[in-house]
Structure 1
Amino acid sequence: MSEQTKLIKELLDYVEEYEKEGKQGGIKAFSIFLRGKVMEPEAPREPEKTFDQQDFRNFKTYPEVEFSTLLTGLYRFAKHYLKKAFTQTAFKTIDEFGFLATLLRDHSLLKNELINEHLLEMSSGSEIIKRLVKNGLIYEYPDEHDRRAKRVSLTVKGQREVFMAFNDMHKVSEIIIGDLKKHELMEALAIFNKLTFFHQHIHQRDKHTDIETLHEKYVNHGA
């Protein structure tokens, strides 16, 4: 058996394992899975500390709790910088900017497609669309295949506002990554991509499932 054939066979074994775990997401998601299997062999597992809610003062002794706390804090820092970036724009939130940037890329989307793209509840997403329409940044029109459905696209003003915001948004991105070295940034991206695909899988399959069932299915069962 040639080296190329061995490599293909080994790769197919990983593809089979990937499918058995019920994972989805295309080549990027598979590459993250493969990286975890090949480049990051499991270290010997240390006994995990059992969670005790009475030990709330020592939350840093639970890495999963500290991770969630730090992630929430980073999001709040990001919101603070974004607020500064939006002072000269016709929109005021990252969700509004996200809607506009998505329409700049895709040109036209059904309203529910745009809302789902940003993982928002339909009511919250509809309010954002109303504000953007009111401010003259997007416009609605009937879908040619289903006249009951509404599509949205950018207005000329909306396009102008998005392009005007790009430079400041890039500055915010550079501030957010702080003093991370290039290799640290790439490692962080690998971790966040892995987490994103994990949660996209839950969102697509178990969006309305209660927290106890989610924990049992994706944490206990996957441990």
Structure 2
Amino acid sequence: MQETFDELEDLLKNYRNFKMEGRKGLSNFGVFLQKQSENNASPQEVKSYPPGVPLPALIAHLWGRMLRHTAFLTKKALEETELRSLDEFGILITVEQHQKPSKSQIVQETLQEPTTCFESIKRLERLGLIKEQPDADDKRVRRVSFTEKGAAHFRMVKGKVFLLAQILVGNSTEAEQVQLLQLLKNLDAYHSQLAINESKEKIEAIVAERR
């Protein structure tokens, strides 16, 4: 009998937390309870699903699935725009954030292969979205900025990408999104260091040095 009361108390606590987040509906509460159960799972329980698969491998598998989901949704988000990919959007957002960045700076910020990035810049320039001009102090450096058409088009695309972002985070709570953001920031810092210092290393050597 005490076990039943304990379970009822836990249920009421979860429902109070659910309501405090401003959420409604019994079906949504069911999803909330499922997430709470997953969050409270022990490391052994997580590692045992599916049986015998190491935790990093399972994460990599789900990461790959998310990349495919992202690719599909990106295509939907950009289908009425001049852009072909999030890489091209990355070029434009770098132009917005850094105000006339150099082409090499765009490569660094977007993590794209230089030749591919330069080809994308040329395509966006042919579309009339951006323009190049020599740096005032160093004529060898080319600076990239928006055209009037490009600035207007970018504002429209940015709204669609924001909708894409809302879909990608799904029904996760704000607290979960904050936690995910911190994890991704940590991983980005780790992999940025690898890209800078160990880009020519074989994967076995990278793993061995990081143990």
Hey, what's the Cα distance between the residues in 2 that align with 1:155 and 1:113? 19
Following superposition of structure 1 onto structure 2, how do residues 1-223 of structure 1 map, counting pairs within 5 Å?
Answer: 61-218=53-210, 220=211
| Gap runs ≥5 in structure 1 | 1-44, 50-57
Say if 1:115 and 1:121, in contact at 8 Å, map to a contact too. yes
In structure 1, what residue type is equivalent to 2:90?
G
In structure 2, what residue type is equivalent to 1:88?
E
So what's the TM-score if we normalise by structure 2?
Answer: 0.72
Hey, what's the Cα distance between the residues in 2 that align with 1:131 and 1:60? 47
* Cα deviations by residue, 1:69-92 (Å, 9 ceiling, x for unpaired): 111211111121111111221112
Hey, what's the Cα distance between the residues in 2 that align with 1:86 and 1:144? 35
Structure with greater Cα Rg: 2
Hey, what's the Cα distance between the residues in 1 that align with 2:66 and 2:126? 31
Q: Percent identity?
A: 27
* Cα deviations by residue, 1:146-172 (Å, 9 ceiling, x for unpaired): 212211111111111110122221111
Using the TM superposition, give the Cα deviation of residue 123 of structure 1 relative to its aligned residue in structure 2, in angstroms.
Answer: 0.9
Say if 2:133 and 2:144, in contact at 8 Å, map to a contact too. yes
Q: 1:160 to 1:208 in 2, by over 3 A?
A: same
RMSD value, Cα: 2.0
Hey, what's the Cα distance between the residues in 2 that align with 1:171 and 1:142? 36
Instruction: Decide which moves more: 60-69 or 73-82.
Output: 60-69
Aligned length: 165
Hey, what's the Cα distance between the residues in 2 that align with 1:209 and 1:174? 37
Say if 2:94 and 2:101, in contact at 8 Å, map to a contact too. no
| Gap runs ≥5 in structure 2 | 1-42
Using the TM superposition, give the Cα deviation of residue 202 of structure 1 relative to its aligned residue in structure 2, in angstroms.
Answer: 1.3
Greater relative contact order (Cα 8 A, min sep 6): structure 1 or 2?
A: 1
User: 1:41 — aligned with what?
Assistant: none
Using the TM superposition, give the Cα deviation of residue 137 of structure 1 relative to its aligned residue in structure 2, in angstroms.
Answer: 0.8
Using the TM superposition, give the Cα deviation of residue 206 of structure 1 relative to its aligned residue in structure 2, in angstroms.
Answer: 1.7
Hey, what's the Cα distance between the residues in 2 that align with 1:201 and 1:178? 30
Say if 1:81 and 1:172, in contact at 8 Å, map to a contact too. yes
Structure 1 residue runs of 4+, over 6 Å off? Answer: none
User: 1:53 — aligned with what?
Assistant: none
So what's the TM-score if we normalise by structure 1?
Answer: 0.69
Hey, what's the Cα distance between the residues in 1 that align with 2:53 and 2:201? 29
